[in-house]
Structure 1
Amino acid sequence: MLDQWRRRRAAARVKDGDGRQLKRFRWWHLLGRSLFYIRLPGDDGREMEYAVDVSHWGEQEDGDVRAHLYRDGRHRAQSKMPAAFPVPGGRIEVAMSAFGLRRCHYVTTGGAEQQLTPDPRSPEGRRARLHREHPNLSRCIGLVSVVVLIVGIGLNLLQALGPISQIPPVNEVTGTFTPPILLPFWLNITLVLAAALGSTERALRLRHSWLLDGAGN
């Protein structure tokens, strides 16, 4: 029921496109643009290329982040996030996190999912190429990202328990909690930056966990 309601809301956000041509991905788009592709058969059996283009910094006119859908290089639709574009055989779902895309998938009417292919010049495409050409290094980077996030969440939670335990209603039940480790300011800042890098690396692979990456939002 909740999923159906969310899909209806996403469908209501979809607006018609203006037919403009899709711009190529340039090197100066690396810090703020995602571009993904998928080829799907149309009603006449002819295969068409769909592209999803997202500017992370939002639109110039209102600052809202939107996903844009292109078909064979022409603008067909746009939507605020999260987006769900109807396409042959299903829909393309797009969602953002604070660190990049967390979802860009083709979902069939039967529920099967397929992640779209990133443009090779985009950050997601470069990360995918690293995984193909150096899978062991890629797995190590992914593991480090997870470890950094877990350590950061654990240590920040310990630091937060002290002030929380001093709230009168909480203090009456638990008493005052003294963290076993008191981190200097510079180390707290370092952990925050490391967690942001870890979540950004995971976003390049469209990996997202409400606990790990949500805690860094």
Structure 2
Amino acid sequence: MRKLTPLRPWQVLNRYLYELDLAGTRYTVEVDIADDDVAKLYADGRLVSTLDLPASFAVGDGRIDVAASLYGVTRVHFSRRDGVGRRLTPVRGTLEDRRRRLGERHPVLSRVIGWVAIVLLIVNLILAVPFALEIVTEIPVVAERFGTFVSPIQLPVWANTPLLLAGIVAAMERALTLRHNKILDMETIWTSM
């Protein structure tokens, strides 16, 4: 049986580790986005299951649900059969753990970072919608039926590039804190196009 390897400093951007102590067993969930779209479950450091994402592992008197996006884990939650649940704790040394500790030590700064991320994603979303419509209306079948649309917002490269990078950082911030909204966190539309 394969053992859980320690987190290496160069893996913090692609390897996500969360743990849960339950009935004398320490469960660890590993998602490595550089290693396929799978989640691995370890019990006391030994691999017990590997599932495609989104995953649902049966453990003890409940299950651990895991989901991920392009920017990190969006859900890692334990739910008992009676409906009571909680998030798993990030393993010490991960970026998620560092972000959690920042929030505990500096709650005001943490909230400001969270709100800035939301604003950046909203701006990116607002700017991306006309751009997406323009691309869709360039498809011949759509253009013939509805005509073409030209986005009224044409940003130069010097403005587009920082917005793209800020959107990626904002999406990563949301993933670090396990915050996810279907509309707001749409894989940062800029990178999807």
TM range (shorter): 0.7 to 0.9
* Aligned residue among 21, 25, 28 for 1:39: 21
Query: How far is the alpha carbon of 1:96 from its aligned partner?
Result: 1.0
Aligned to 1:48: 25
Cα 1:73–1:176 change in 2 (3 A) is: closer
Query: How far is the alpha carbon of 1:177 from its aligned partner?
Result: 5.4
Cα 1:108–1:165 change in 2 (3 A) is: same
Cα 1:178–1:68 change in 2 (3 A) is: closer
| RMSD, matched Cα | 1.9
Task: Count residues with an aligned counterpart.
Answer: 185
TM-score by length of 1: 0.78
The residue correspondences of 1:4-19 to structure 2 (distance < 5 A) are 18=1
Partner SS state of residue 104, structure 1: strand
| Further displaced range: 162-171 or 201-210 | 162-171
Query: How far is the alpha carbon of 1:182 from its aligned partner?
Result: 2.5
1:203 to 2:185 alignment? no
Deviations 1:118-163, CA, capped at 9 Å, x for gaps: 0120011111011011111111111000000000110122334455
Equivalents in 1 of 2:173, 2:57: separation in Å?
26
The residue type paired with residue 170 of structure 1 is: F
The residue type paired with residue 207 of structure 1 is: R
The residue correspondences of 1:65-80 to structure 2 (distance < 5 A) are 65-80=37-52
Cα pair 2:133 2:149 within 8 Å, conserved: no
Aligned to 2:146: 170
Q: Extract unaligned runs of 5+ from structure 2.
A: none
Q: Extract unaligned runs of 5+ from structure 1.
A: 1-17, 42-46, 59-63
Partner SS state of residue 214, structure 1: coil
Equivalents in 2 of 1:200, 1:163: separation in Å?
26
Cα pair 2:41 2:48 within 8 Å, conserved: yes
TM-score by length of 2: 0.87
Aligned to 2:158: 186
Equivalents in 2 of 1:71, 1:163: separation in Å?
48
Partner SS state of residue 19, structure 2: strand
Cα 1:111–1:176 change in 2 (3 A) is: same
Equivalents in 2 of 1:38, 1:165: separation in Å?
49
Partner SS state of residue 186, structure 2: helix
Aligned to 1:7: none
Aligned to 2:11: 29
The residue type paired with residue 204 of structure 1 is: L
Cα 1:148–1:48 change in 2 (3 A) is: same
Percentage identity across aligned positions? 39
The residue type paired with residue 63 of structure 2 is: R
Equivalents in 2 of 1:55, 1:134: separation in Å?
29
